[in-house]
Amino acid sequence: MKKEKKKIKIIEGIEKEAGIFNDYALIYDILYQDKNYKKESRFVSELIKQYSLKSPKELKIIDLACGTGQHIIELSKLGYKVEGSDPSEEMIKIAKQKNKETNLNIEYYNESFQTSERIKKKYDVILLLFSSINYLIKYEDITTSLKNFTSLLNEGGILIFDFWNGNAVIRDYFPLKVKRAYKRKKQVIRISETTLDLISQVSNVKFHFIVVDDGIIVNEFDEEHQIRYFFLQEMQDLLQSHGFKVIGSCPFLENSKPVSAYDWNVTFIAKKC
């Protein structure tokens, strides 16, 4: 039977962060089953080996927007010791369930970047993958988060993250996209309508999700995501003014290539000074 349509949830600021990526979490792994987490984790591993001062076995790593934990599982298989955190309770629930399925004993926290100081531990590497940093819209959230990252990092520790590059977003964004994914009898359809606010550098993405099981619509919901894009120099300046030095950059998944002005997804490696 068709469920009643849920109200649109708008995320704006820290209090409402848990509002998005909850219903979404339940279908996240179906929607991204074609995402090559193994390859992405190998790319992250190469960067860690290239830029970290410690040997992989000594390193303590945290993925601070871990979602359902897929990068953590793949990095653990490569021998790394990784923990995870995410502000979405549902994402963390799913990540924890995978501990049983994979026989891993990964520690998870339910914190946002802005509240991550509550983790109160020290790491050598912080990961923020799949454009998670772009969910920081306001300057005060960016500044709180970057301060938290420095306090979570050991001396000489590094931050590895990818983000949406403003030049590419403005030139290449699609106002309307449809993604359809299947898993056994389940089907997920996601319609994304995007508008850009060129002044605040925010992409407003209205998602409409339809979840079909065995031919019947079992859930239909909307989420509105505000995703801020950053320009390359702007990101470098933000990091520098918060105690980080950019020590490496490349297009996402292309470690040996220099960044070009229109790469949509750019990876930065920044060291705590």
Ligand X SMILES: C[S@@+](CC[C@H](N)C(=O)[O-])C[C@H]1O[C@@H](n2cnc3c(N)ncnc32)[C@H](O)[C@@H]1O
- Tell me which residues touch ligand X (CB under 6 A): 17, 21, 64-67, 70-71, 86-88, 91, 112-114, 129-130, 132, 135-136
Residues 6+ apart with CB under 8 A from 150: 242, 243, 244, 272
Whole-angstrom distance, CA of residue 120 vs CA of residue 152: 7
Between 205 and 217, name the residue whose CB sits nearer to ligand X.
205
Least distance from C-beta 48 to ligand X, angstroms?
Answer: 16
Q: Do residues 258 and 248 touch, judged by C-beta distance below 8 A?
A: no
Of 62 and 250, CB closest to ligand X: 62
**Smallest separation, CB 106 to ligand X (Å):** 14
**Other beta carbons within 10 Å of 71:** 24
By beta-carbon distance, which residue lies closest to ligand X?
A: 67
CB-CB contact of 122 with 207 (8 Å): no
> Closest approach of Cβ 18 to ligand X, in Å?
8
CB of 203 to ligand X, least distance (A): 13
CA distance 124 to 132: 19
Q: How far is the CB of 206 from ligand X (least distance, A)?
A: 16
Q: Which of residues 54 and 93 has its CB atom nearest to ligand X in the complex?
A: 93
Distances (CA, A) of 153 to 53, 78, 81, 268: 13, 22, 15, 16
Closer residue to ligand X (CB): 54 or 242: 242
Closer to ligand X at the Cβ: 21 or 207?
A: 21
